[in-house]
């Protein structure tokens, strides 16, 4: 797929952004039209009732018409659930369905159908992280298990249930956030495990997810010295390009975790974070909870493209091709929902 539009119309497709409130004002509309993002990510401040969020989603799509925009949300269950009313209330992954894959599939199916009725396209779930470290402050019961095989089996049941309900799943946080002691929102965690330990434990759910065709993965802002002594995973060519894309053969969409998080925001200049994320094959840069940062990211991208237009246009075309595959599925899900509703 080659975009027939000018490059200027497409650079924003790399950006996944968020909005500050539960309705659109004129400033919101102007800002969306300036950025023209690839997706908008919903948070609790955008509304906790599905009925209200549905109206906001319609407004976002109207503001960016005739271009399409995807709508994404974090709706794992347990403590990570943006919507509180109008969708099933799921417990944390650790206790979901009492570990029964069939029950987990049904729960995710019902969640997926409710999210689809709300106009949402993508759920940042399931969590593929293994609960390797009981002192981990950020994963814990968001993980299906401390057993990597169990995480792989149950997370795929959840993933396939979402798909059956009309939602694109996004597995996270590649290559594994379970064996950390720090919250990457606040600092850069480091996992000191050997490469062999990572292969046997953290990698397994992600490898199985790729084998089963998971369409989107989200990166971890975590340093893995056994794999790359300098760069955290989100910015690591060794991990994202050489291992994930080339060795493992992942052809789906790759998202960065939020680039505003301290794990990458403190050690590195924002310009480096943006350039390296794209260079290592991220297709979507999450730049959330800010109006200024997405505009700054867009300025950085345009500056890169001005210096080497051929390189960055070719890089964008790869993202647009990957998006086109998912776009077909989203269009089919939307059409099916229209028939049902």
pLDDT tens by residue, 35-44: 999 999 999 9
**Which one of the listed residues 22, 68, 147, 185 is annotated catalytic?**
185
**E-strand stretches of 189-318:** 216-219, 253-255, 285-286
257 catalytically annotated: yes
137-141, 202-206, 265-269: which range is least confident on average?
137-141
pLDDT, tens only, 225-262:
999 999 999 999 999 999 999 999 999 999 999 999 99
pTM of the model: 0.96
Out of 121, 123, 228, 257, the active site residue is 257
Phi, psi of 21 (to 5 degrees): -140, -170
Q: What is the pLDDT of residue 1?
A: 43
* Listed residue (274, 266, 173) closest to 222, CA to CA: 173
SS (H, E, C) 153-210: HHHHHHHHHHHHCCCEEEEEEECCCCCCCCCCCCCCCECCCCHHHHHHHHCHHHHHHH
Annotation marks residue 185 as catalytic: yes
Distance of CA 317 to the CA centre of its chain: 20
CATH number of 11-340: 3.20.20.300
CA 270 to chain centre: 19
> Minimal CA–CA distance to 37: which of 235, 218, 293?
293
**Beta bridge partner(s), residue 81:** 75
Distance CA 331, CA 22 (A): 25
């Amino acid at each position: 797929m080659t975009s027939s539009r000018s490059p200027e119309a497409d650079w924003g497709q790399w950006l996944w952004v968020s909005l500050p409130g539960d309705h659109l004002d004129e400033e919101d509309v102007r800002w969306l039209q300036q950025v023209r993002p690839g997706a908008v990510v919903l948070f609790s401040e955008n509304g906790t009732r599905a009925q209200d969020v549905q109206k906001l989603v319609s407004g976002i799509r109207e503001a960016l018409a005739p271009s399409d925009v995807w709508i994404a949300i974090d709706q794992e269950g347990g403590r990570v659930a943006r919507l509180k009313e109008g969708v099933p209330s799921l417990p944390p992954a650790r206790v979901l369905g009492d570990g029964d894959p069939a029950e987990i599939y049904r729960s995710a199916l019902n969640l997926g159908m409710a999210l689809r009725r709300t106009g949402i396209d993508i759920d940042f779930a399931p969590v593929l992280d293994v609960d390797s470290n009981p002192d981990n402050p950020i994963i814990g019961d968001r993980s299906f298990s401390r057993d990597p095989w169990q995480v792989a089996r149950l997370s795929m049941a959840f993933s396939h249930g979402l798909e059956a309900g009309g939602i694109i799943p996004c597995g996270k946080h590649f290559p594994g956030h379970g064996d950390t002691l720090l919250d990457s929102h606040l600092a850069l965690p480091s996992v000191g495990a050997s490469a062999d330990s990572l292969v046997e434990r953290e990698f397994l759910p992600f490898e199985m997810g790729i084998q089963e065709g998971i369409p989107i993965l989200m990166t971890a802002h975590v340093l893995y010295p056994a794999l790359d002594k300098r760069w955290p995973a989100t910015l690591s060519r060794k991990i994202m390009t050489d291992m994930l894309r080339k060795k493992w053969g992942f052809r789906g969409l790759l998202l960065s975790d939020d680039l505003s998080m301290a794990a990458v925001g403190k050690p590195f200049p924002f310009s480096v974070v943006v350039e390296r994320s794209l260079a290592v094959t991220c297709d979507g840069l999450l730049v959330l909870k800010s109006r200024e940062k997405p505009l700054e990211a867009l300025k950085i991208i345009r500056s890169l493209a001005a210096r080497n237009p051929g390189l960055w246009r070719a890089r964008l075309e790869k993202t647009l091709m990957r998006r086109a595959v998912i776009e077909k599925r989203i269009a089919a899900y939307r059409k099916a929902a229209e028939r049902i509703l």
